[in-house]
Structure 1
């Protein structure tokens, strides 16, 4: 089998927690461009080392196998060579412990084609946008905001980010800065296991929404004609919020059957 060469270099690694990191890579050749919310394949061979805090591999892979999986791009969509990703480590997994072992200047594989249909630019101009995320599901929204926030001053844009602890809120500082900079943007972090110093919301995202949080805080009643939802994160959360939205007449978006809520499961 012909070995697929590595074609990208690590430019920066930011450790958010021992199992969450922001990875920036530079591709050897520029890509053709992408739309905010899309993803790129990242890959490493099975002979690469694993992170020190990983666990034994649940399903060991051959050294000559190229492990690849898609990760949402967090960069502004005008980037063609420098790409950013927000990645969680599955300790007994195959690829993520190897990605967590990367250092600046290390090499890896980056997919030539950028794909995905989780796209903000498909929503009508002026519609309100609710972006719900847990874990690394925040990554496509960072790309949404970096790319589109200045273009949509008539839309209320709300990010509701759920996590267990304060340190799990990736991109917290950037989101707080955006909230202070744009009057139409609102950031709502909520924790399920907050410490005594936390002054924000303490709830699951599903419970906030089901208890009329949007209506009470932002005067937004779920209405598929005026408000579009993006839901990105754990399957249980995605499923529960999807069912809640369908009570208001929302339909899941498909490329051949447009709807008013979009999902990405992580």
Structure 2
């Protein structure tokens, strides 16, 4: 069910573009869907209100650092079985986002352009024994005992566990309901060894117009180089990189990439 489309949003003047500018764009998308496609808002965009069903897609930033610019590129990934979420979301954004405010310096969205929708094909050759670089491209927001997991406490096992949980949740609501044994995957990941780690805890926020307050998107970013990963764990983490892991995935958090070091 995986589909994707890349897009560009432009402003009427240069504006501060945070790394997670997709969080603000997703907020605008909610308003656009409420006006044009309320059916998709309830079924795909915010289906979890009062329950555990996760959204049927996410916004992914394509820039790696904050900057000042007259726009930014983004990607939308969706996985609803019906396949109508991405076309409807793209239509709503392109039609109704222009004119909406963006950021806090008076800038407004001038235009949104979204390219053709493509099927997203998973293809990763996970050769065991290679050194792998696990890159937390956007904040990985995990909690343990009700508290955020910081950079020192984050382990490969916790990332693998969170990835298994995420895939299980999506399988339950959008897939064939098959479930992974998260503890078993954690045990397999424990065989790996860290060669280098460069992680930090960052605390970005997004402004919630409905709640009238800043909502924390805090999490861990950086890189870890590990050896001894099995091909199966590499494949699991690669799949998690497509659908993101942890909290606030819809806004773009939890984008974990794995590549040969």
TM-score, with length taken from structure 2: 0.30
Q: Point out the structure with the larger helix share.
A: 2
Higher RCO by CA contacts (8 Å cutoff, separation 6 or greater): 2
TM-score, with length taken from structure 1: 0.30
